[in-house]
Amino acid sequence: MDYDVIYIGSGNASWQGARFLRKEGLKILIVEESLYGGACANRGCNSKALLDAPYEIKALADNFEGVGKAGNFEVSWPDLMKFKRQRIAGMSIFLDGKFDEYDLDVAHGKGVIVDEHTVQVGNKKFTTDKIVISTGLKPIIPDIKGKEYLHDSTDFLDIDELPKHAIIIGAGFVGMEFASILAEAGLEADVIIRGDMALKYFHQPYVQNVIEILKQKNIRFHFHEQVKEIVKDENTIIDNPEAKVLNVTSAMNSDEYLRDPQSKIDNKPHENAFTVKCESGLSITGDYVIAAMGRTANVEDIGLENVGLTYTKQGIKVNGHLQTDVPNIYASGDVADTGIAKLVTVAIHQSKYLAKELLGGADEITYPVVPAVAYTIPRIATVGVPAYIAEKSDEYDVHTIRYGNAYSLELKNDRTAEAKVIVDKNLQIVGAEIYAADAENVANMFAFIINKKITLEELDYMIYAFPSSSSVCLYKLHNIHYKF
């Protein structure tokens, strides 16, 4: 055999564990057809975090409107994009260097499984004892007329100028997070949703809070709508930052045009004017259409049929050892159908577990509670037992902790920060829902509490840094402990 293990894909689901295997003496090959590090490093998580941060700061500054704020915090998207491209351009190069440091072999090209022990890259074939598929997910592009006009998350995160009027199809992580950026940028968008809720895995009262904020900032929501067609409209102009849509012929006959023809000549038909048509008859025109309808397993043309493996939208079926139906082939990360949230943190956990498994066998994989965050503005987070389950069960109690209202001075005037804390009948914290500017940090705190089973009495004994969002939230937990 040429290798002990070949990983198809170079993201966190592969190299995080591969380095430990190499340290133990196994010979490893990582195959990558695109940029080293995969989607999160180059086209997703890192780009989104960098581009979102200034708008988060802007929203925090707005908390001091009328109480100290002077002037406006403005974000230059072109400058921000230039900075993002400079930073992200180095990620793949950096990881290539890390692979070399870890003594991991790499092959650049599409990895195709030829048989149970052979992977082909270009015209080269490599033999191996074990294969790990870690190809991740790809955006769903609906098979509708005009689908060629759709942009995915990768496109939006590398766009030169923000669209004046975006049409977002879908309201999951991508749709709602992009809507928040556009709202803070003072632009407008229409969000088209097939079902009756946005961010369906999050606490819906908190989701509604975000929706109401977005509505106040020119983001419109259309529920129970099915998109059937996208039409490029050559006879439409996007006239101003408010994305007012005018017919060219009507514009040229207007009084404004007759008084000053140059006013409309300069504003010639926008080359990116598109109309999204829905089954209900709803028709919306804007200058940029985003497909934010989720992601699906990225496994096309990698040779699964050659070894008899099948897959669904959720990925490749695996057992508790991340093993597929072919005993020496495994799947790790987002491409694996495990029933666990498809997050980069979960991919890292699986990759490290798989290293132990491949070194001689391990017990079935287990998972700690996994915090998930929607990086809207403000943030929403969930960890552990969700409130919607707890509210329907006699096993749990749900306590509302309005720590923003009580400690707004300590929270940078964030008056609405709130958490729903779920406890069992022994007053042990088992879950939390958070709505706050820094919900991600509070969620991590609760993840630690839940995983380590820290009691309310133990939390009450500890001393925390003050002021901080974690300390004031923890202090309000006294109400549960002492039953005030």
Architecture of domain 147-291: 3-Layer(bba) Sandwich (3.50)
Mean residue pLDDT of the chain comes to 91
pLDDT of 299-318, one tens digit each?
999 999 999 999 998 999 99
Q: Is residue 293 over pLDDT 80?
A: yes
- Say what the pLDDT of residue 13 is: 96
- Say what the pLDDT of residue 246 is: 34
Q: Do domains 147-291 and 378-481 have the same CATH topology?
A: no
**What average pLDDT does the segment 315-323 reach?**
97
Q: Which residues, including other chains, have CB under 8 Å from residue 25's CB and lie 6 or more apart?
A: none
* 400-407: long-range pairs with CB below 8 Å, 24+: 401/473, 401/476, 401/477, 401/479, 402/476, 403/469, 403/472, 403/473, 403/475, 403/476, 404/436, 406/472, 406/476, 407/467, 407/472, 407/475
Q: Is residue 249 over pLDDT 80?
A: no
Q: Is residue 356 over pLDDT 50?
A: yes
pLDDT of 135-176, one tens digit each?
999 999 999 999 999 999 999 999 999 999 999 999 999 999
Q: Is residue 73 over pLDDT 50?
A: yes
Residue 405 banded pLDDT, cuts 50, 70, 90: confident
Which CATH code, of 3.40.720.10, 3.40.190.10, 3.30.390.30, 3.30.70.260, is assigned to 378-481?
3.30.390.30
Percentage of residues of the chain with pLDDT beyond 90: 82
Residue 213, both tokens: 């904020």
pTM of the model: 0.90
Residue 411 banded pLDDT, cuts 50, 70, 90: confident
Class of domain 3-138+295-358: alpha beta
CB 446 within 8 A of CB 384: yes
- Say what the pLDDT of residue 384 is: 97
Give the whole-angstrom CA distance, residue 358 versus residue 115: 19
- Say what the pLDDT of residue 238 is: 57
Judge residue 405's burial from the number of C-beta atoms within 10 Å of its C-beta, 0-12 exposed, 13-18 middle, 19 or more buried: middle
Q: Is residue 456 over pLDDT 80?
A: yes
pLDDT of 36-57, one tens digit each?
999 988 999 999 999 999 999 9
**Domain extents in the chain:** 3-138+295-358, 147-291, 378-481
**Choice among 52-56, 66-70, 120-124, 284-288 with the minimum mean pLDDT:** 66-70
